[in-house]
Amino acid sequence: MRKIGYQIGVGCADISKKEKEYVKDVLEHERLSYGPYTKKFEEEFARAHGCRYAIFLNSGTSALRIAVAALKEIEGWKDGDEVLCPAVTFVASSNVIIMNGLKPVFVDVDPRTYNIDPRKIEEEITKKTRAIMAVNLFGQPADMDPILKIAKKHKLKIIEDSCETMFVKYKGRPAGSFGDISCFSTYVAHLLVTGVGGFSCTSNPKYAEVMKSLANHGRDGIYLHIDDDKNLNKQGLFQVVSRRFHFIRLGYSFRATEMEAALGIGQMERKDQILGARKKNAAYLLKKLKPLAQYLQLPWHPGRVEHSFMMFPIVVKRGVGIKKQDLVMYLEEHNVETRDMLPLLSQPVYKKLFGDIENQYPVAKWVNGNGFYIGCHQKLTKKEMDYMVAVFEDFFKKRV
């Protein structure tokens, strides 16, 4: 096998001519703050995910942070109240809980989808539990029907962290439409790329109002954008002028710009092409790596759930005599980039905060020790995927 001369990455920045035209239009009009591109992006994104409101922000993490903050304020949560969170997820999911003065309570994950395991949720609920953060990992929605049932039974809110999953459906309903608030990311190498960016989405007008304020320093909602004082009668203008520098809560500066929104509009126009290519590439890798399924657990999703394949997760099976570290290093040495499958509880900062609790979550511990992912993004060529498969095959030929 001849080694390829460059790294095959886990993600890509796929910027077309259309995105460049839109960004150029923004620059020519010299309007960088909230404007027509952001408005259009928010409206189209909300519609695609079955929500009434979408707030475009500077990151998915910011989206999560104001989602939790808004719920805490509106629902009257107290410091120390608890939010359930999967034991496998990107660190931002639980960080925002902590940063809002709340306590993340971890729930083990499903051994095939790696999403929060609904069968494990109720055993973690206490009198202080206020919400479930259902994370849609790696490109597929969590099993939302039982989660919704549990939330209703215990009167809990649902935050749908869908930063890695968009434009796909669970039982015919869009990911992101299940939570009281849902959050998405448009960061580099994600499904929809704006460089930096994210969304908080909801169908609740009060939640939307407070989140918009939180994202704008806690400003009075009467004036959040520079057009909010335009085309008003005298009385309306007086109200805006007298209140537009009022700040009614502690907030953040989480705004994105028209340039990111312009990139997003171009990406939205190509979303079917982008996701179609990812799904096609994932299907090809699944077919080619199937002979190694006795050693590797390859991506799986039930028929009622679509998968957008933000990445291609793999877990080394138990008892096969293969160490994940050896396989990952072989891939990396042959220019196939990998990433760990989002270990959380084993992170140094979490050990410092919560102690060594990983053994309490056996599936998460198994995933942390044996899981990684490779890319299946839309810019991968057949030649590159064939090379990736050949590297896997070569590794196992030498060790099995």
CATH of domain 17-269: 3.40.640.10
Closest of 33, 32, 92, 35 to residue 67, by C-alpha: 92
* Mean pLDDT to the nearest integer, 341-360: 97
Whether residue 237 has pLDDT greater than 90? no
Model confidence at 383: pLDDT above 80: yes
Q: What pLDDT, on the 0 to 100 scale, is given for residue 1? A: 77
Residue 400 clears pLDDT 80, i.e. is over it? no
Interval 155-192: pLDDT, tens: 999 999 999 999 999 999 999 999 999 999 999 989 99
Higher pLDDT, 237 or 313: 313
> For residue 280, what pLDDT is reported?
98
pLDDT value for 61: 98
pLDDT at 365: 98
pLDDT of res. 240: 80
CATH numeric code, 271-399: 3.90.1150.10
Inter-residue contact 324 to 371 (CB < 8 Å) = yes
The string of pLDDT tens digits covering residues 263-279 is 999 999 999 999 999 99
Is residue 91 very low, low, confident or very high in pLDDT (cuts 50, 70, 90)? very high
How remote is the C-alpha of 160 from its chain's centroid? 9
Same fold, 17-269 and 271-399: no
Mean pLDDT, rounded, for 89-95? 98
CA distances from 149 to 107, 132, 275, 299 (A): 17, 12, 30, 27
Distance of CA 103 to the CA centre of its chain: 21
Cα 277 to the center of its chain, rounded Å: 19
How large a percentage of the chain has pLDDT more than 90?
A: 92
Domain boundaries, the chain: 17-269, 271-399
Q: Which residues pair with 313 in a beta bridge?
A: 373
Segment 105-121 shows an average pLDDT of 98
Over the stretch 189-207, which tens digit does the pLDDT of each residue have? 899 999 999 999 999 999 9
Task: Find all residues with CB under 8 Å of 281, minimum gap 6, and list them.
Answer: 309, 376, 377, 378, 380, 385
Residue in this structure with the two tokens 């029907």, named with its chain if needed: 145
Q: Taking all residues of the chain, what is their mean pLDDT, rounded to a whole number?
A: 96
Q: Per-residue pLDDT tens for 216-228?
A: 999 998 888 888 8
Dihedral sign (CA 337, 133, 184, 51): positive
- Give the pLDDT confidence score for residue 239 in this predicted structure: 87
Given pLDDT bands bounded at 50, 70 and 90, which one contains residue 236?
Answer: confident
Answer yes or no: is pLDDT of 232 > 90.
Answer: no
